[in-house]
A and B are shown apart, each in its own frame.
Chain A
Amino acid sequence: MATDTEVDLTPRLKTDEMLINMGPQHPATHGVLRLILTLDGEIVRHTEPILGHLHRAQEWQGQNRTWFQYQALIDRVDYLSGMFTSWAMARAAEVVDGCEVPERAEYLRVMVSEMNRITSHLLWLGTYLIDLGAMFGFPFYPFREREKLLELFEEIAGQRMMFNYIRIGGVMRNPKDAWLSKLKKFTEEFPDRVDEYEAIVTENPIFLKRTKGVGILRKELGMDYGITGPSIRASGVNIDLRRTKPYSVYPKLKFDVPVNDRDGDTFDRYIFRIREMRQSNEIIKQCLDMLPQGEISGKKQIAGLRVKAGEGFAAVESPRGTLGCYIISNGSDRAYRIKWRNPSFCNLSILPELLKNHPIADVMAIFGSIDVILPDVDR
């Protein structure tokens, strides 16, 4: 009950919101993302991502380069999982062209792609731990395994990151037996290595404190924003193109798609990527056993490569989500129109929602957990 003598306890100090500009030259924004944060003390009230610092007109370039040239260029779209961008474009072009892909080539594609998924997740793991402030120590251990895979890529594709290995109609090179046995050795020891990371990270109390209950992504919200990939599977949506819209030889392979049974937080997004790495390892093992002999390309890989007139769309499940490519061809040596559907761009759109009312220290913990590659956002 209010009385005459009641003391006014509302604070007299005037507080104000502070605008802080994070990036594009901030050490932790994974490239050139600029975030304009409105802070109330240390709490983020509003976020505005500014995109486009890395825009390279990749779609326009597709219309001005021959198919053969553009194949080499699109690895740069998502530089951590170049196999998937090549694969998405190759599949879209194959849909338009109607050419057959030999089975051996399909197995090789699955194999190198899953290897690429592992390297991508490993790099994510390392950088994510750096985002959480573990500047040294375990961030470097994932790079040890990644290095082995990169060496295998180097051997088969001649490049460590910009592979240009998956081509329209097939793949570029046949692996040697030594390469296959090296890969087999890797798949055998890799689960132990993942156990090692889990031993040091998954039960680390500070890590748990920083990730559990932070940046909870509600299932419905995620679906509204069109989030794909491990981020949404960690929030309970069972969408994985390898299973829900099977392509290539995935129907013949045995593997689980881990899906959460509740709304996921950053810890879930971490643990589901770890589980995915284990599944990818299983897929590689099976491919090595089932790899048939035969041709590796259904189309002649020449500079004047042409795709028949028509239009078509194809998508693959990249480490970050659904990576789609839409192609219109008029039968010439270059595309009439190319449009990309990039998972990073869609996943980044949720960031302002996730960051709302979190402290500034969580900005990087949450941003890192949705695994965005900036060239993939800006193209």
Chain B
Amino acid sequence: MRNGAEILKLGTLTITWWCIIFGAVWIACYLVGVALPMMLSSYDSDAARMTAETLKALTPILSVLVFIPINAMFMVLIERRALAIFTVRLGPNRVGPDGYLQTAADAVKLLFKEDITPHGADAFMFTLAPIVFFAPSIFGAMPLLAAVTNYHELFQIVNLPTGIFFILAASSVPVVGIVMGGWASNNKYSLVGGLRSAAQAISYEIPLVLSLVTICLLAGSLDVVQIAKQQSGGILNWNILGGGALRGLDAALALKFSNSAPALQELSEKSFDQVLKSSYVEPTMAALGLSAGQESMAGIIAVVAVLVLIAATFIAYGLYMTGACAEINRIPFDLPEAESELVSGYNTEYSGIKFAIFFLAEFTNLFIVASIAAVMFLGGGDCPVPAWLGTMLGGPQLASVINQALTPLIQIKLVDPPTLFAAIWVILKVYSIVFFAVLIRGTLPRFRIDQLMDFGWKRLIPLSLIVFLLVVFAREFVNVHVGS
């Protein structure tokens, strides 16, 4: 069981790095967003107040700037170590304790490397390309910050009513950087890589956006904070399981299993069956205009509609992940940098810090698409255990014990328990998706470009349209998140 030991080491490494990354971000946010403004508030002047407000407003940007480089280092390391386990190797284990600092050393090396501009290249565009590629990953994910921090007051400023729209718009900008870099490099391989990337991004953005539109349709909102909040209360409310179609079941189960504090106050007098009836049968009857005698038929229709919704949202999740893999050029869709064909594709000619920026942005994009999936499909910062089951298992007691232990920290506003729990769940969800992407990388070969286009246009886009239509029809019969 050498593998067992390696997996254990990987786990230790992951937790250590999580502590480093999120500790750093947490402390930076605390210093700039809370501690400094508190100090400034003792001065009674307009200048001090304005400075304090500015500092608070800058906190989200600061958190992202601190987070992105450290996180990318960690993701590269975890990818290399995990791939090593998949491929019966050991992976980097020499720099620092057990290889913990390998990627930090790599980053330093890249920063000090000679920055070469190839002969005949368009120097201005060549320099601009990595910036265009990287910039959207800094500002693009801003609206997500409010969702993953449980709408913490410091991050409310970055919330947009059309958040998901903004995120998608920003995520389609990096391809311009790739084409720019490919064209400016004066290298045929780079050029082919850049053009492939453009074609691929256009094809796969459609299923990706359609799958997210499906979710927005169920949620009735483009606001990521609202979408995340709707899903609170356990796995049954998550968008991946029908987008709120199981809320009624959740409420009924809560009534059945919890002796105290039913989930919905107005239902407390009713029985399990009555709750199910009022949440599934009655809306269907209302939608179809059925009379009182046709309840069993309405029940069947409601069950079918719920199953269709669950299947549709599940497929939408698959479509999103596929489209996202293509969008960020991961195997099996890494054609823009296909190593066996195009040497390294659009970044063949890049070296030093420009290459480092490309690299950084690639991994940040992976993290961002994983966070979008976590917020849009997997409930954001919500605990997967349903609330009533959590109550039965002693969740509130545990929470109060933790609150008690953290009291001194809460008093100095270093810790806000809802934000802390939300952050922990988001980290777990996002990194599970990242691990899944690594696993795929360790398993699949690469598509050919024409097969990739076929797959995108002939399979994924029709499928995503079908899912969209199914959801449009099925949600007529079931109460989903909309309006709740």
Contact = CB atoms under 8 A, between A and B. Distances in A.
Contacts of B334: 133
Nearest to A19: B188
Interface stretch (A205-213, A252-260, A299-307, A334-342): A205-213
A28 B341 CA distance: 7
Contact of A26 (B188, B343, B442, B449): B343
A362 interface: yes
A132 B338 CA distance: 9
Interface in A12-40: 18, 20, 26-28
A377 B326 CA distance: 39
Given A27-B340, A27-B343, A136 B445 contact: no
Contact of B87 (A28, A141, A360): A141
Contact of A206 (B86, B88, B332, B335): B332
Given A20-B188, A133-B331, A362-B448, A140 B88 contact: yes
A13 to B, nearest CB: 15
User: Across chains A and B, which 4 residue pairs bring their CB atoms closest together, nearest first?
Assistant: A133-B446, A28-B340, A140-B87, A134-B445
A144 interface: yes
Nearest to A137: B442
Nearest to A20: B188
Contacts of B450: 359
Nearest to B339: A27
A361 interface: yes
A132 B343 CA distance: 13
Interface in B85-116: 86-89
A207 to B, nearest CB: 6
21 contacts: A27-B340, A27-B343, A42-B449, A133-B332, A134-B443, A135-B331, A136-B86, A137-B83, A140-B88, A206-B446, A207-B445, A209-B447, A210-B445, A210-B446, A210-B448, A359-B449, A360-B341, A361-B341, A362-B448, A363-B341, A364-B341
B451 interface: yes
Contacts of B49: none
Interface string A107-137: 0000000000000000000000111111111
Which of B343, B444, B449: most chain A Cβ within 10 A?
B444
A361 B338 contact: yes
Nearest to B89: A140
Interface of B: 83, 86-89, 188-189, 192, 331-332, 334-335, 338-341, 343, 441-451
Nearest to A214: B448
Given A134-B331, A140-B87, 6 more contacts: A42-B192, A132-B340, A132-B445, A133-B446, A137-B442, A207-B445
A132 B446 contact: yes
Contacts of B88: 140-141, 144
Contacts of B332: 133, 206
Contacts of A375: none
A204 B87 CA distance: 17
Contacts of A141: 87-88
B446 A134 contact: yes
B341 A204 contact: no
Contacts of B89: 140
Nearest to B80: A136
A44 to B, nearest CB: 11
Given A144-B88, A204-B445, A133 B339 contact: yes
A139 interface: yes
A206 B189 CA distance: 24
A204 B340 contact: no
Contacts of A138: 87, 443
Contact of B445 (A42, A206, A362): A206
B340 A136 contact: no
A209 B87 contact: no
A349 B189 CA distance: 25
A118 to B, nearest CB: 18
Given A206-B444, A206-B445, A206-B446, A133 B86 contact: no
Contacts of A27: 339-340, 343
A135 B448 CA distance: 15
Contacts of B192: 42, 360
A131 B188 CA distance: 20
A134 B83 CA distance: 12
B83 A136 contact: yes
Nearest to B442: A137
Interface in A31-56: 42
A133 B340 contact: yes
Contacts of A18: 188
A26 B340 CA distance: 8
Which of A18, A26, A206: most chain B Cβ within 10 A?
A206
A361 B441 CA distance: 19
Interface in A181-223: 200, 204, 206-207, 209-210
Nearest to B82: A136
Nearest to B440: A137
A359 B452 CA distance: 13
B87 A136 contact: yes
Which of A140, A141, A207: most chain B Cβ within 10 A?
A140
Contacts of A42: 192, 449
A209 B442 contact: no
Contacts of B87: 136-141
Contact of A130 (B188, B340, B442): B340
B120 to A, nearest CB: 15
Contacts of A361: 335, 338, 341, 448-449
Contacts of B441: 135-137
Interface string A349-373: 0000000000111111000000000
B341 A135 contact: no
Contacts of A132: 340, 445-446
Contacts of A137: 83, 86-87, 441-444
A31 B83 CA distance: 25
A210 B88 CA distance: 25
Contact of A133 (B83, B343, B445): B445
A206 B441 CA distance: 13
B25 to A, nearest CB: 30
A162 B340 CA distance: 28
B188 A209 contact: no
A3 B306 CA distance: 59
B324 to A, nearest CB: 18
Contacts of A207: 445
A209 B340 contact: no
B442 A28 contact: no
Contacts of A133: 331-332, 334, 338-340, 445-447
